[in-house]
Chains A and B, each alone.
Chain A
Amino acid sequence: MSNLHADTVAYVRDTMLEQREPPLSTVGILGWGKKNLFTGPFNTIVTILCTVFVAYVLWMLLPWFISPTWQAASLYECQGILRELGRDGGHFGGACWGVIRDRWVQLLAGFYPSDLYWRPLLALALLGVAIAPVLFTRLPRKLVWFTAVYPVVFPWLLWGGAVWVPLLVIAGVMLSVFVYKLVGRFSSPLFGIIAGVLFAVFWFTWATGAISTTIDRVVGSARIESVLAETDAQIAELTAESVALEAEIDATEARILEIISSVSEPEGAGDGAYLDAIQRAAPDRAILADLRDELFVVGGELGRLRALKRQIDDLPAQISMLPDLEEEAIELRQALPDSVKDVHSEVAMDTLQAQILQGDIDVPTEDLNALKKTLAAEKNVADTERAIRSTYNDVARIGLEPVSSRRFGGMLVSITIGVVAIACSLPLGIVLALGRQSDLLIVKSLCVGFIELMRGVPLITLLFVASTLLNVFLPPGTNFDIILRVIIMATLFASAYMAEVIRGGLAALSKGQYEGADSLGLNYWQAQRLIIMPQALKISIPGIVSTFIGLFKDTTLVSVIGILDPLGLSTSIRSDQAWNGVVWELYGFIALLFFICCFSMSRYSMYLERKLQTGHR
């Protein structure tokens, strides 16, 4: 073309124009601003308003945040520092960060023994390892075995105890599966399930107790001498240590007092002497806090060892006494008159007495007295047996030092309740979801009723039930501690939500999957196990994560029933004279903790959602 007209056209451009820079107003910050912030008059106004708002908020908050009070040891000192800087000493003058320095460990771990912090940390780290194979397909499949074992490892790490307890639990599960397979092979699978369940019931209600008692006794008698010697040595050592610690604490306290009392109360002096004194006292205070922690640990350990020593000392007498006591109890029982022969417990005796009072039955008073004597003797036997058992248990314990759940607090309690409740609610939720989907009318209505009940009432009422009523529903004499009761109710609560999440996953599967399973000749459970559940659960993972986040946030409600979660602890901390009146710093720190946990989890679940979507559709 150009050739054709080459001579007829006066001018032909033979070089390309240099590519020009885009106009300055469309690139760089300016361009970006024009496109995103100032598209029109309305948008411009909105942008300006927003900027003013942000600036105002920062203007209000930043001076409060920036406050050199990290080293203060009480609210009083914080106010002193702030006044010295010429600021208002009240709530708005500046934050009192000293409370966070003093109590952050407590807000995280509660009253968990400080020398055992590695255990919850390890449990959390292992939690990551256990979830990994579910989330990352590229990891070696063998890791799934660890995931399967983890539900037993987690409580063992947190609560401690002898090493064979988790082993027995694992053995129980494996044996139950074995029984199921064995029976299932020789008769129908249904019988297999029934046999497996029966075996599991037998194992966990009776066999574990008997086996661990036997192990305790065998190991205990072998170790008793060495443990006693060791305990004696440790008691001597720790006693010396605690005396030394006390002396050191007194010395440190005197040093601190000297430094602090060297400056008088400042009234906006501005010369920095007060702040300086507090900073000079800070290393000593840190030492003092460490010493006190150490003394607390030593004191606790000492008490434990002394109790152990006393138990061991009592043991021979108890063992030698036991046969006599038993004989006496049996004799008394045999001598009982017929009228009261069948009464075996105090509860039954109370009932009997009530009947006598009402005049339904007539029992002579001497018979009743004999019965009382018998019951007392029997109780004595049981108590002695229990004491012997518990001593052997303590002596024989190879494993972790037990930590009672009353020592849980702060974030640890939130995480424990959240993780355990979600883990337990998953199988329950699957069962409920299947029940709700099923054609069996009664099963379906039971499941629907349970789910609607749990979803229809606020969690706090369930926590009230846990704190005041649950013991009433259980057999007389059983008594879980409050954390366990809360976990039970939280599990029931979460399982209803979990069931709805999984039901959503089941509904998302195409009908072809069910038909495909049928056409392969799989029965209901095989189809569920091999085809339906793996897909449904995979789709449900984001939902499960958000249920977990919800439950994790809801664990703050336990502060209402007196459990010292972070929010409950904040009340306790404010009851300390040093920190009475601190509000925002504690709430802010707790909010930050929750935000970090929940935000990262929700972001991760969004990432998963995207990943799973491409994998699935």
Chain B
Amino acid sequence: MKKSVFFSALTVAGLAATASAAATLDDVKARGTLNCGVATGVPGFAAPNASGEWEGFDVAVCRAVATAVLGDPMAVEFVPTTGKTRFTALASGEIDVLARNTTWTFSRDVDLKFTFIGVNYYDGQGFMVPKELGVSSAKELDGATVCIQTGTTTELNLADFFRVNNLSYEPVPIETNSEAQQQYLAGACDVYTTDASGLAATRSTFENAADHVILPEIISKEPLGPLVRHGDDEWGDVVRWSFYAMVAAEEYGVTSANVGEMSATAGDNPEVNRLLGTEGNLGEMLGLDADFAKKIIENVGNYGEVFAANIGESTPIGLARGLNAQYTEGGLIYAPPFR
């Protein structure tokens, strides 16, 4: 009842106070919007454009979930979070899902009590150096001044790497990617280390991108993925299968262009039929419409399309699929069967 006390006191300010450990799906439906935690700004992954509309690879996950639950990719409230505030925001129910390039680690899963619903980007920590330094391996970085983003696992990985290899270095902790870029370009640090995707994205914006190399060593595994609170498995399932719907769609060749046609009638491939809701009742089992996956693909696109539109090789970020190709093409992206 205390909740209603605060609720009515706050209607003045027009602010709703709702959070509960369970039944996030019902909350989201009742609210009509999905609260999605994103980064305050990472090129290609999440950033607002001039109209105030958020765009990016992580943002697409939010939009997919909103489409699945509410039928509307725009029904998302984006909550910018920092490395420090993201977990509190999720734990306290301020956001329903966190899609902020967050590494899946044991302690976050077990100790902080979150459920990672999958991996939407396989990443690893790498190093970028200017060519003029003449460095070709991270083992040659003795005495380097290294820019690192704080609030992540990056700085621990870095300390471990240099300690194991008995190299010395000077850390320069940085809050945001753009500041790191500024320091790196001015030569205030010799090396910039962060996730390889971030390095590539940063390098792509340089005037002379060819003057900088990304070293071959990847010193950590960084499986990045969206996460939800422990203890609400229905909601976890909704987010998980909204994401996997995009992955499976790419595998079966369902794109935003042909999804209308393919879902009009049941086709030959039963898996595609189940995915698009022309056969079976997978959507209902999740508490969603039968054609939730169709709507996602129609409005957001499949995994490959989202990748290509936000961070793919045709964009300024220019990331190759690499580990993030479908398993059929030698990558790690793999959706469990829709059955």
A residues sitting closer than 8 Å to B (CB atoms) are 79, 89-90, 102-103, 106, 110-111, 114, 152, 155-156, 159-161, 165-166, 169, 204-206, 208-209, 212, 289, 292-293, 296, 299-300, 302-304, 306-307, 310-311, 346, 379, 383, 386-387, 390, 402-407, 409, 464, 467-468, 471-472, 474-475, 477-482, 484, 560-564, 568, 571-577, 580-581, 583
Contact = CB atoms under 8 A, between A and B. Distances in A.
B271 interface: no
Interface in B177-204: 177-178, 181-182, 185
Nearest to A311: B32
B51 A293 contact: yes
B230 to A, nearest CB: 13
Contacts of B317: 577
Contacts of A302: 72, 74
Chain B CB count within 10 A is highest, among A311, A481, A564, A576, for: A481
B93 interface: yes
B80 A572 contact: yes
18 contacts: A90-B207, A111-B48, A161-B11, A212-B11, A289-B51, A296-B52, A302-B74, A303-B75, A307-B75, A379-B22, A379-B23, A468-B84, A479-B19, A480-B15, A568-B80, A575-B41, A576-B43, A580-B178
B75 A383 contact: no
Contacts of B9: 204-205, 208
B6 interface: yes
B88 A577 contact: no
Contacts, number: 200
B81 to A, nearest CB: 5
Contacts of B7: 209
B218 interface: no
A387 B51 CA distance: 32
A311 B48 CA distance: 29
A50 B52 CA distance: 45
B41 A165 contact: no
B71 A306 contact: yes
Contacts of B264: none
Given A209-B7, A575-B178, A89 B17 contact: no
A228 B14 CA distance: 24
A522 B6 CA distance: 38
Contacts of B17: 478-480
A471 B8 contact: no
A575 B310 CA distance: 13
B53 interface: yes
A155 B20 contact: no
Contact of B50 (A102, A475, A564): A102
Contacts of B35: 406
Contacts of B88: 467-468, 471
A110 B93 CA distance: 24
B133 interface: no
A482 B70 CA distance: 24
Nearest to A574: B178
A291 B71 CA distance: 24
B13 A159 contact: yes
A572 B47 contact: yes
A377 to B, nearest CB: 13
Chain B CB count within 10 A is highest, among A103, A407, A474, A572, for: A572
Contacts of A161: 11, 14
Contact of A575 (B2, B14, B43): B43
B8 A204 contact: yes
A239 to B, nearest CB: 12
A159 B40 contact: no
A165 B8 CA distance: 10
Contacts of A568: 40, 80
Contacts of B178: 571, 574-575, 580-581
B94 interface: yes
B12 A165 contact: yes
A479 B92 contact: yes
Given A169-B12, A204-B9, A296-B53, A580 B84 contact: no
Contact of A479 (B18, B51, B316): B18
Contacts of B52: 106, 110-111, 114, 296, 407, 409
Given A102-B50, A383-B23, 12 more contacts: A89-B207, A106-B50, A209-B7, A302-B72, A407-B52, A482-B85, A562-B85, A563-B80, A568-B80, A575-B46, A577-B44, A581-B178
B49 interface: yes
B40 A581 contact: no
Contact of B11 (A206, A209, A472, A583): A209
B269 interface: no
Contact of A160 (B14, B176, B185): B14
Given A111-B48, A379-B23, A477-B20, A155 B72 contact: no
B22 A471 contact: no
B43 A580 contact: yes
B79 interface: yes
Contacts of A160: 14
Given A205-B8, A296-B51, A383 B26 contact: yes
Contacts of B48: 106, 111, 564, 572, 576
A46 B13 CA distance: 57
B5 to A, nearest CB: 5
B157 interface: no
B165 to A, nearest CB: 32
B66 to A, nearest CB: 9
Nearest to A294: B51
A574 B48 CA distance: 10
A79 B85 CA distance: 37
B82 A561 contact: yes
A106 B41 CA distance: 15
Contacts of B71: 306, 310
B309 to A, nearest CB: 13
Contact of B79 (A79, A379, A406, A577): A406
B137 interface: no
B167 interface: no
Contact of B84 (A204, A206, A464, A472): A464
B10 interface: yes
A103 B316 CA distance: 21
B109 interface: no
A297 to B, nearest CB: 8
A390 B30 contact: yes
